Amino acid sequence: MTERPRTVEPLVAFYRFVPEARVPQRADRAAIGTLPTRAFRYCDALVTAAAFGYYVFPPLSFSLMWDGTEIIWTWEGEADWYPLHVAQCPGFRTVFEATAPEEIRAFAPPFLGALPEPGIVQVWSGLVARTQPGWSLLVRPLANLPKSQNFELYEGIVETDRWFGPLFTNLRLTKTDVPIAFRADYPLFQVQPIPRAIYDEQHLNNFAVIPDLARLRPEDWDDFYDTVVRPNVHENRPRGQYATAARKRRAGEQEPG
């Protein structure tokens, strides 16, 4: 009898609600090609952080403008600007009402919402996410990519194994009286799956501080020597030792047992 292959549940599943929304993509080690070659070659810590998680895009290209009090918005292909309070993706309500069960049809998630705090806007990706039990999503700005001078993103942790709702980000506009454009083909934020246990209070409160050099143990000095001193006194010092060792370790961990 042939044994059926096991189905492996995905760590993260993204559900596209807005049909036009671009699907998320795995973050890459070159940070969308922006990292310098030297950093990409020798700094494994940097490229590993860049590749941790998934890029999430806005469901359409749109623009915001803030005068310090009120926010107006428009979208690609629309000539006029509109005051922003709560706004749907153009045409999405019709799609949602045609597909959702009757008792849910009146609850199409909004695309944009101006929050009560000045200049703060909530932006929905057009997606809903679900993670495996015990895992959450850290919603954060794009890792190791230049930040806009026109807005900044807040970070948040969503327990997506328990909460099946819109995957959104909150942003704060930082410049007034200029159009601030967001492109549907460029990621707006990054999500990173994290075990819920790692931000549990009992773990975060379990930390220590070594107050001065005199408190280091001999084994601490040995480790410091191996990490910092030995590579610098080596006559033929190879470059990127940490990056090489980290890549070898990951390759070994991925080999079948």
Where exactly are the structural domains of the chain?
A: 12-202, 208-254
Q: Please state, in angstroms and rounded to a whole number, the distance separating the CA atoms of residues 31 and 53.
A: 11
Q: Please state, in angstroms and rounded to a whole number, the distance separating the CA atoms of residues 180 and 148.
A: 10
The whole-number pLDDT of residue 241 equals 56
Torsion angles phi and psi, residue 187, rounded to 5? -60, 145
The whole-number pLDDT of residue 257 equals 47
pLDDT in tens, 214-243: 999 999 999 999 989 988 887 665 555 555
What is the token pair recorded at 171? 């942003």
Q: Please state, in angstroms and rounded to a whole number, the distance separating the CA atoms of residues 124 and 252.
A: 39
Burial class (CB in 10 A: 0-12, 13-18, 19+), 114: buried
Q: Please state, in angstroms and rounded to a whole number, the distance separating the CA atoms of residues 178 and 192.
A: 32
The whole-number pLDDT of residue 249 equals 60
The whole-number pLDDT of residue 239 equals 56
Q: Which residues of the chain have pLDDT under 70?
A: 1-7, 39-40, 235-257
The whole-number pLDDT of residue 132 equals 97
Is residue 165 within 8 A of residue 139, CB to CB? The reply is: no
Residues 6+ apart with CB under 8 A from 24: 14, 54, 55, 56, 57, 127, 191
CA torsion 84→119→180→23, rounded to 10°? -70
Q: Please state, in angstroms and rounded to a whole number, the distance separating the CA atoms of residues 233 and 235.
A: 6
The whole-number pLDDT of residue 14 equals 98
Chosen CATH of 12-202 out of 1.10.150.120, 2.70.40.10, 2.60.40.10, 3.40.50.720? 2.70.40.10
Q: What is the pTM of this model?
A: 0.85
